[in-house]
Amino acid sequence: MLFTCYGCRGSYPVIDTNFMRYGGNTTCYFIEEKDTKIIIDGGSGITLLGKFLFENYFPNPIDINIFISHGHWDHIMGFPLFEPFYYDNNTFRMYAPGNDESDVAKMMVKLLEVSTAPVPFENLEAKISTKNLKSNAKCDCKDLTVETYQLNHPSIDLGYRVTSKITGKSITVLTDIAPIEDNYLSWGWKELALGREKQFEQEYYEGLVKFVTKTDLLIMDTHFTDEDIKGKRHWGHSTPTMAMTLAKDGMCDNLMLTHHNPEYCDDDMDEIFKESKKRAKNLGINLFIAVERESHEV
Ligand SMILES: [Zn+2]
Ligand SMILES: [Zn+2]
């Protein structure tokens, strides 16, 4: 499987000479196995991916599955300018967490309506189907299988575990995610946990550990440092320390930090990576950091 990062910035895109090395575009990941292609999230980075696809495939048709973690702007803002949506020989299947309050088709219609986008969703040339997903679902995508697990974040947010049917290897993407202890962020979870809070937290964490167990590359939102998360746990993000704890509990050898804070410049990111790498080594974890346009073979 080839994993390429087209955007790893959290919250909003940054255009600044001090942010060039890690990249300023928001979340977009691309996974390829033989002829099967998967996109996770359509942040501003998806516009770069659109150019790559256009340059390498046009006028041949492309067929891609798109998985959206959740509907926050930094994960969807690139869709209106994703070039492959504008050609009729392309096919897309879009998946996102859904229920009555959150629906991928409704979200796309809202995002690409005539007053905010050049072409409304229903008039895009490409063939686009939409499907709502729940936690613990499994999708078959030719050479890849994609499984879901709902994450603790203010929204309905899904983590995705992508497994190759050819090699059995997997990549798991958890974005965005916060620790759950006394910190119920997902819609409806506070009510769901009422009266059995400790058990609810334990079940959630055990499920999360099971979901990531022995994945070959764990990619996780580590938006904050240990210092900066103080007073902001309800924002819905994690730290490198939290990611290393989960990697350890889930027996994951390879961990990648992502969803970089838009207030951390390249020098800050260098420092965070250097310091985290030292700690990861002591724990027996190979630590990577997401960098825009960088690929990893898994
Ligand atoms: Zn985000
Ligand atoms: Zn979010």
What pLDDT is recorded for position 98? 86
Q: What is the Å distance from ligand 1's center to 219 Cα?
A: 13
Q: What is the Å distance from ligand 1's center to 46 Cα?
A: 14
Each residue's pLDDT tens digit, 216-237: 999 999 999 999 999 999 999 9
Distance of CA 199 to the CA centre of its chain: 27
Domain 2-297 fold:
Metallo-beta-lactamase; Chain A (3.60.15)
Enumerate residues with CB within 5 Å of ligand 1 (an ion): 10, 74, 176
Ligand closest to Cα of 77 equals: 1
Q: What is the Å distance from ligand 1's center to 174 Cα?
A: 11
Mean pLDDT calculated for residue range 82-102: 90
Structure tokens at 244: 């290393």
Structure tokens at 19: 């942010």
pLDDT interval class at 102 (50, 70, 90): low
Closest CA to 75 of 6, 1, 172: 6
Q: Name the burial class of residue 99, with classes exposed (0-12), middle (13-18) and buried (19+) by CB atoms within 10 angstroms of its CB.
A: exposed
Q: What is the Å distance from ligand 1's center to 89 Cα?
A: 31
As separate numbers, helices (DSSP H) first and strands (DSSP E) second, the chain gives 7, 14
Q: What is the Å distance from ligand 2's center to 13 Cα?
A: 14
Q: What is the Å distance from ligand 1's center to 70 Cα?
A: 8
Enumerate residues 6+ apart whose C-beta is below 8 A from 286: 253, 254, 255, 280
What does the mean pLDDT of the chain come to?
96
Rounded CA separation 127/117 (Å):
18
Rounded CA separation 23/26 (Å):
9
Rounded CA separation 201/203 (Å):
6
Which secondary-structure segment (H or E) carries 221? strand 217-221
Q: What is the Å distance from ligand 1's center to 71 Cα?
A: 9
Q: What is the Å distance from ligand 1's center to 88 Cα?
A: 31
Q: What is the residue whose two structure tokens read 């930090």?
A: 257
Q: What is the Å distance from ligand 2's center to 28 Cα?
A: 13
Whether residue 240 has a cis bond before it, omega within 30° of 0: no
Mean pLDDT calculated for residue range 176-184: 95
Count of CB atoms situated within 10 Å of the CB of 288: 19
Rounded CA separation 114/131 (Å):
23
Closest CA to 116 of 157, 173, 77: 77
Ligand closest to Cα of 41 equals: 1
Each residue's pLDDT tens digit, 237-267: 999 999 999 999 999 999 999 999 999 999 9
Query: What CA–CA distances, in Å, run from 236 to 178, 205, 223, 224?
Result: 5, 15, 9, 10
Q: Higher pLDDT residue, 222 or 115?
A: 222
Enumerate residues 6+ apart whose C-beta is below 8 A from 275: none
Tell me the domain boundaries of the chain: 2-297
Relative to beta strand 36-40, strand 63-67 is parallel
What pLDDT is recorded for position 150? 97
Ligand closest to Cα of 260 equals: 1
